[in-house]
Structure 1
Amino acid sequence: MKIKEYHGGCLCGHIRFVAHGEAHHPHTCSCTLCQRHSGSLTLCWVEFPKDQVQWTGPGGTPSLYRSSAASCRAFCSICGSTLGAIDDAPTLGLLLGAFDKKNQKSMVPEFHSFRASRPRWWKIAIANGSKE
């Protein structure tokens, strides 16, 4: 059986990645760190074990900003694209918008984190039918 591969990268192509295996915990998040990091009210995430992600572009690994005690936010130092978060744990979260093919069943968000941090008028609908 062939192992799944997910390809993606930043806006300018300086940072590219390949994630191997199964995507874990696809979700949306409205925490204040995600909002500040992206300039958006909500981000869509999918997680992979760090050892299943390879940085393949000419820029190598993304630039990092220590955003909390347990995690760094990853971005391209050339174009500024937000790529995800590299946790101190063996987990790496990648933003769905950074993937080349976003319309894959394994990437459909299953839940929404930090609902209380979003404005009341911002409604999130998750594919499993839940809506706030």
Structure 2
Amino acid sequence: MLGHCLCGQVEFEIVGESFKLYQCHCSLCRRQGGSLSNAATIVPNEKFRWLAGAEFISSWMKESGFRSDFCSICGSPVPNPLRNLPYIWVPTGLLEDNGDLQIVAQLCVAYKASWDPTILQGVCYDELPNLSEFISLLQAAKA
């Protein structure tokens, strides 16, 4: 599955389609994307490959560890390493083919914006879930 930023300078590929999506409703994710929530997935490093434009990626990190990588040309959020783990966080709005992807979890529902009318689908977590269990949920094979 191919993905790219708004201007097309940063391009990447996710190998395989056995991953699922989540939405995060925390204030950091809302601010990062300028929307109701952030839709993303987490994939193992070996399933992710940069195709072009890595030199255009800039990073910003909050003291808490929240990291935001973005295209320095158009400002789109782009994939970034998940902490010191062997995974990549991928904002799914960048994917070319949204095909048969499914949202399976909602994070930080307790922080959902009061004006957000979204009907939540999938498992809802008021806070951030246990990371290893959460990654297993996202990597689960499609039924």
Both structures adopt the same fold (TM-score exceeding 0.5): yes
- Calculate the aligned-residue CA RMSD, in Å: 2.4
Q: Give the Cα separation in 1 of the matches to 2:113 and 2:103.
A: 20
Structure with more of its chain in strand, by fraction = 1
Using the TM superposition, name which of 39-48 and 21-30 deviates more.
21-30
Is the 8 Å Cα contact of residues 33 and 67 (structure 1) preserved in structure 2?
Answer: no
Could you report, residue by residue, the CA deviation over 1:77-128 in whole angstroms, capped at 9, with x for unpaired residues? 10001124421211211111100011x22x2111211112122331333455
1:48-63 map, 5 Å: 48-57=43-52, 59-60=53-54, 62-63=57-58
The correspondence for 1:100, drawn from 71, 96, 100, is 96
Structure with more of its chain in helix, by fraction = 2
Structure 1 position 70, deviation (Å):
4.4
In the superposition, the TM-score normalised over structure 2's length comes to 0.73
2:59 maps to which residue? 64
Using the TM superposition, name which of 30-39 and 61-70 deviates more.
61-70
- Structure 1: segments with no counterpart, 5+ residues: 1-5
Q: Secondary structure at the match of 1:110?
A: strand
Distance 1:23 1:94, change over 3 A: farther
2:7 maps to which residue? 12
Q: Give the Cα separation in 2 of the matches to 1:98 and 1:49.
A: 18
Q: Give the Cα separation in 1 of the matches to 2:81 and 2:66.
A: 6
In the superposition, the TM-score normalised over structure 1's length comes to 0.78
Q: Give the Cα separation in 2 of the matches to 1:50 and 1:69.
A: 23
The correspondence for 2:117, drawn from 99, 117, 123, is 123
1:73 maps to which residue? 68
Structure 1 position 68, deviation (Å):
5.3
Identity, % of aligned positions: 26
Q: Give the Cα separation in 1 of the matches to 2:71 and 2:26.
A: 21
Could you report, residue by residue, the CA deviation over 1:31-76 in whole angstroms, capped at 9, with x for unpaired residues? 122112111120111110123211112x226322223554522210
Is the 8 Å Cα contact of residues 31 and 113 (structure 1) preserved in structure 2?
Answer: yes
